[in-house]
Amino acid sequence: MKDFYDILGVSKGSNDNDIKRAYRKIAMKYHPDKNPDNKDAEKKFKEAAEAYSILSDASKRQQYDQFGHSAFNGMGGGQAGFNSMNMDDIFNQFGDIFGGKNPFESFFSGGRSSSKPRSGGDVKVKIEVSYAEIVNGGEKKIKLKRLKLADGATFSNCTVCNGVGQVTRVTNSFLGQMRSTSVCPQCKGYGKTIEKIPSGADKNGMIKKEETIKIKIPVGVENGNYMTLDSQGHEDINSNAGDLYVFFEEEEHEHFSRYGNDVLLQVKIGYSQVVFGDKIDIPTINGHASLKIPSGLQPGQILRIKGKGFPKLGKTSRGDQLVKIQVDVPKSLSKDEKRIIKEYYEIEKDKDIKFEKFED
């Protein structure tokens, strides 16, 4: 797939205004009204819309910069491809680029208009995932309430737009007669208004229904990641549904913490183990591993176990496990322990004390 920055002709360091300006320029150049029956122009127009949909969103742009196209692939929905959308869809989504309307309404008489009403509202949910689920992937079922058209709801043609869904205004200017078409303010572009409201429905004939949805957990997901399930949000009066946004939150673990793709663990061992060295068995996020303690290890030193961290999102590689070693100082001792340590103390007590600079 083409790089989104290359499609818009901007650099990775470009600001929001640069990206917006570049998209508008390409959209004007390749608009189908200027390039009738030109499949290549239509393709470039849609590619630019897809690129802008990612780079104009701070969160999506950050994910793209970090993971590339894979950030929006294989996540149970992901970014909807613009090649499956028509021009009205695109202008409906990015109307702010052209003042909230199709730019060619004022440039071409009888040009396209954003007559297609929006789909239902989007739904956002949060789900907690365990470290085991992050490593192995999995599936969770969630319950959510969605707005759906109530049984028995009936509609009649809008009296303002006569069922067209849009209104046209004609104004005179020094350039001549200008036609401006916009979504009908009465019916919001649907061309119809509620006639009969069933019991339990709202003023638009919609009712909330609880549904159970399966969520596939991507391997390597982390806090702040989200996935999009197309058409799983609220419905509108035409039964066109918005999207469901699923945000992931990591559950707290008893022993482990996370730093990027690395997993962190602190281990307390005895004094003799750090003096003479040892080999110990430690837990990992998906099992156990053997860790060699070198002799003379200093308290606070960190040992690394390669490939025992979290999987990288969309990749086969994994981070590492970092193990911080601390010395466990006993609060109570047996008679034999006291005798042995006392003998060692007699040897140590006359040694010079070392002073060093405090480092965080």
Residue 277's pLDDT band (cuts 50, 70, 90): very high
Give the pLDDT confidence score for residue 352 in this predicted structure. 83
pLDDT higher than 70, residue 288 = yes
Three-state SS string across 72-136, please? HCCCCCCCCCHHHCCHHHHHHHCHHHHCCCCHHHCCCCCCCCCCCCCCCCCEEEEEEECHHHHHH
Question: Going by CATH, does the domain composed of 1-112 fall within 3.90.226.10?
Answer: no
Query: Who wins on pLDDT, 289 or 118?
Result: 289
Give the pLDDT confidence score for residue 350 in this predicted structure. 81
Beta strands in 251-294 (DSSP E): 257-259, 262-269, 278-284, 287-293
Q: Fold match between 1-112 and 257-332? A: no
Q: Select from 214, 101, 227, 241 the least CA-distant residue to 166.
A: 101
Residue 290's pLDDT band (cuts 50, 70, 90): very high
Residue 360's pLDDT band (cuts 50, 70, 90): low
**Domain layout of the chain by residue ranges:** 1-112, 257-332
> Which letter, b or e, does each residue of 303-321 get, where b requires 16 or more Cβ atoms within 10 Å of its Cβ?
bebeebbbbbbbeeebbbb
Query: Who wins on pLDDT, 90 or 132?
Result: 132
Q: Distance (Å, rounded) from C-alpha 136 to C-alpha 217?
A: 9
pLDDT higher than 70, residue 355 = yes
The average pLDDT across 320-334 equals: 93
Give the pLDDT confidence score for residue 93 in this predicted structure. 52
The average pLDDT across 36-52 equals: 85
Element (H, E) at 29: helix 16-30
Q: Give the SS3 label for residue 45.
A: helix
Convert the pLDDT of each residue in 244-258 to its tens digit.
Answer: 999 999 999 999 999
Give me the numbers of helices (H) and strands (E) for the chain, helices first please. 8, 15
For residue 156, CA distances in Å to 216, 241, 263 come to 41, 21, 60
**Poorest-confidence range of 8-22, 81-95, 280-294?**
81-95
Q: Distance (Å, rounded) from C-alpha 114 to C-alpha 168?
A: 12
Q: Which two tokens stand for residue 259?
A: 């730093």
Q: For the domain 257-332, what is the CATH superfamily, name and number?
A: Urease metallochaperone UreE, N-terminal domain (2.60.260.20)
Give the pLDDT confidence score for residue 46 in this predicted structure. 86
Q: What is the pTM of this model?
A: 0.59
